[in-house]
Structure 1
Amino acid sequence: MGMSFRPRRPGKPTEKSQAELDEMVRRMKGEQTAPANYREQSLKIHGWICAKCGREFELHNLHLLTVHHRDGNHDFNPPDGSNWENLCVYCHEDEHSRSLLGDYLQGENGRKNR
């Protein structure tokens, strides 16, 4: 079922009190499992260098250095950084595309495509 962009039916708008809004924000923040600053933590632990190609980064291009979750689980963020590795955007893309290529070459049933 698609999303409707029709205006709401006339009637009394449902307004929330400030206390209800504050509680909603607290609940939503509590549901976040990954620390918001795991990128900062990873940069401090592993340095400003790509773990795959060895490219070093400076402040002006640091946005090109990303955090890769080794086990693929973005919710698993141990404070020691054992599930992270800093990869440049190019190596990060390569890391994620490897499994796609392997799946394609193996085919759905495990036999190689010809």
Structure 2
Amino acid sequence: MSKPTPPDRPQTGKTIDTDRLDRVVVAARRARDEREQGYREQALKLYPWVCGRCGRTFNHANLRELTVHHRDHNHDNNPSDGSNWELLCLYCHDNEHQRYEEHIAASSKGAGQEASSQTTHRPFEGLEALLKRGK
């Protein structure tokens, strides 16, 4: 049931459901506690707020742009000592994953194959014959 607005608050014609507000506050605190147990919060406590690649420093205002990178690319490998983590800014983290994806793609294509078997277009094929004909 709704309760009237307390007298110390301006009257806006709206009522505040304090039970609902209490539930929201409790849920927010619980979510914060769960996040602090997560690997991101642990990494932020272990390491300085600096990107491990570009050296950009972070503060509370822009901390959301600092991410935790798993060095072995296994997001389930989260040792409590942080040995599989490094803090990277959004841009360096994206770059690191792009490099990893390119490495995997190159490995799966079989980089040891000869270039001639991969090349299908020969732009100068028949050029020698054309040059000899012109003499």
Task: Quickly name the TM-score band, shorter chain normalised.
Answer: 0.5 to 0.7
Greater than 6 Å deviation, 4+ residue runs: none
Q: For CA contacts below 8 A with separation 6 or more, give which structure has more relative contact order.
A: 1
TM-score normalised by L of structure 1:
0.61
- 2:32 paired with 1:44: no
Q: State the secondary structure of the residue aligned to 2:87.
A: strand
Aligned to 1:58: 59
Distance 1:105 1:77 in 2: 28
Distance 1:49 1:58 in 2: 9
**Highest Rg: 1 or 2?**
2
Distance 1:57 1:37 in 2: 20
Q: State the secondary structure of the residue aligned to 2:95.
A: helix
Identity percentage over the alignment?
Answer: 50
Q: Aligned-pair RMSD on alpha carbons?
A: 2.2
- How many angstroms does 1:104 deviate by? 4.9
Aligned to 2:90: 89
TM-score normalised by L of structure 2:
0.52
Which moved further from structure 2: 96-105 or 54-63? 96-105
Unaligned runs of 5+ in 2: 1-35, 120-135
